[in-house]
Amino acid sequence: MGKNIFFAKVRAQLGDRLLLADSSEYESSRGVWNGMHDRRPLAVCRCLTAADVSVVLQSAVAEGLPVTVRGGGHNVAGLAVADGAVMIDLSLMREVVVDPAARLASAQGGCLLRDLDAATAPHGLACPAGVVSHTGLGGLALGGGYGWLATKWGLTCDHIVAAEVVLADGRVVEAAEGPPGQHEDLLWALRGGGGNFGVVTRFTLRLRPVRDVGHWTSVYPLDAAGEALASYRAFAGGQPADLHTVGTLKHAGEQEWIPAVLRGRPALFLSAAWFGEQGGAPEALAPLLAGAKPAAVLARQISYAQLQALGDSSEPFGNRYFTKSCYLAELSSGVIETALASARAIRSPRSSIDFEYLRGAIADVPAESSAFPCRDAPYIYTASAQWTDPADDGENAEWSRHSIDSLRPHHYGGTYVNYVQDEADGDVSGIYGTGRYRKLGIVKGRYDPKNVFCHNKNIQPVLNDAATHGED
């Protein structure tokens, strides 16, 4: 009965954008990026406006139906879809409006990163975001948002100036910086606290100037990787903010610039992107290249949009993925040895280990000014398993788990909430730390006291706010 009332109310608002199991578009709409999560929602509600989202939410809550929110559907844990739940699907909400004079973009909550880049690039502007352009802006920005511009300008969440949010009770509010009454507490929580507080239907994002980017990738055989990584360690801490570097251990591809002898074998790739004055990069990179001699280097000048799409084809929709991640205090000899052992043990040629030096502008933002934790982490390290045959699930997940567990003595702080795949990562308070988690719980208690938004890395609402207020 409750379900039928829900269907009637939502159909009156969405019409044929309400997809049920017998709808022709249901099958294609329920899938998410990680093919491990084959789930069947009760309904997929394809929203176009905040008013649509509000009606779906109020109707679901009134009938006691669980809800999930889908941005880009890229979360490794498949948080956007759950069996039997109502999916609030934002994938039709991808409009971006740019105000170049104010250097602001207004982006709907279902945008992919490529939508944002396509709209801002003609103005020579960008919002710092992740490195694969088919990732959703919603989940990425609400959980943090590392990317090529992070050391120069900070995280995506640091660029959220305001947000239009549909709350659990259906109200539509604007959270913004500024005078009291603008839900500043909500804005604080949206900058790193994930999708716990409401459905963001529109982000207002600060933009930064960008132009063409100098990009270098050097490749080393695994037996030279230890020496190269020792050079990288010496270099990384002092690298200029205009330079962002990423290391990857993976099987070398068949590209022409890669020496034939390395193709199909595990190898080290060091990549660098230069955002400073033209011509400044070779000088900045010299100390790194003075170490172990790479087997080959690919150097090119590319547009920012091209840079953002470099990783697209290696992370296709629908393959099976298992990702675990940690922060590291340093790239010590022990870490390097362990990482190389993991690279040798990779189970699937599509899998990779990625690490990058962080800090810079990420760490310049005061720790208490946003919900995002662990701003001072020196390195992030990720072991991403990717394969296609379900029979290989166990060994690939185990490889990723073991890669991170074997570095446990070197872990630093919590984990990055957007790379958490399973419960073995511990509870959410460990991600944020006790004090920050409690503050998030208080904000959750104000905006979502019944925990309607629970398909995320869930923050438990603190309901007697007054009792805990003074302690913060």
For ligand FAD, the binding residue among 41, 128, 139, 291 (CB under 6 A) is 139
The whole-angstrom distance between residue 267's C-alpha and the CA centroid of its chain comes to 25
Pair of tokens at residue 181: 């009454």
For ligand FAD, the binding residue among 131, 167, 176, 219 (CB under 6 A) is 131
With binding defined as CB under 6 A, does residue 80 bind ligand FAD?
yes
CA distance 68 to 293: 50
Asked if 310 contacts 114 with a C-beta cutoff of 8 angstroms, the reply is no
With binding defined as CB under 6 A, does residue 33 bind ligand FAD?
yes
With binding defined as CB under 6 A, does residue 195 bind ligand FAD?
yes
With binding defined as CB under 6 A, does residue 136 bind ligand FAD?
yes
For ligand FAD, the binding residue among 54, 55, 57, 72 (CB under 6 A) is 72
With binding defined as CB under 6 A, does residue 57 bind ligand FAD?
no
Contacts with 223 (C-beta within 8 Å, 6 or more apart), sequence order: none
CA distance 384 to 144: 19
Measured from the CB atom, the residue of 290 and 424 that comes closer to ligand FAD is 424
Per the listing, tokens 């923050």 go with 459
With binding defined as CB under 6 A, does residue 373 bind ligand FAD?
no
CB of 352 to ligand FAD, least distance (A): 11
- Applying CB under 6 A, which part among 137-145, 216-224, 339-347, 396-404 lies near ligand FAD? 137-145
CA distance 411 to 324: 13
For ligand FAD, the binding residue among 9, 37, 74, 152 (CB under 6 A) is 74
With binding defined as CB under 6 A, does residue 235 bind ligand FAD?
no
Asked if 302 contacts 56 with a C-beta cutoff of 8 angstroms, the reply is no
For ligand FAD, the binding residue among 183, 191, 250, 455 (CB under 6 A) is 455
For the chain, count helices (H), then strands (E): 16, 18
- Percentages helix, strand, coil for the chain (3-state, rounded to 5) are 35, 25, 40
Cβ count within 10 A of residue 470: 6
Question: Which residues between 11 and 30 bind ligand FAD (CB under 6 A)?
Answer: none
CA distance 257 to 264: 14
CB of 455 to ligand FAD, least distance (A): 6
With binding defined as CB under 6 A, does residue 202 bind ligand FAD?
no
Contacts with 305 (C-beta within 8 Å, 6 or more apart), sequence order: 114, 117, 118, 121, 133
Measured between alpha carbons, how far is residue 101 from residues 42, 97, 203, 209, 276 in Å?
Answer: 45, 12, 18, 12, 22
For ligand FAD, the binding residue among 52, 117, 158, 315 (CB under 6 A) is 315
Measured from the CB atom, the residue of 145 and 266 that comes closer to ligand FAD is 145
Q: How many residues bind ligand FAD (CB under 6 A)?
A: 36
CB of 279 to ligand FAD, least distance (A): 28
Residue 125: what residue type?
L
Question: Which residues between 379 and 438 bind ligand FAD (CB under 6 A)?
Answer: 418
Radius of gyration of the chain (CA): 22
With binding defined as CB under 6 A, does residue 192 bind ligand FAD?
no
Question: Which residues between 90 and 119 bind ligand FAD (CB under 6 A)?
Answer: 90, 109
With binding defined as CB under 6 A, does residue 145 bind ligand FAD?
yes
Strands 67-70 and 86-89: parallel
Q: Which residues bind ligand FAD (CB under 6 A)?
A: 32-33, 68-76, 79-80, 90, 109, 130-132, 135-136, 138-140, 142-147, 195, 199-200, 315, 418, 455-456
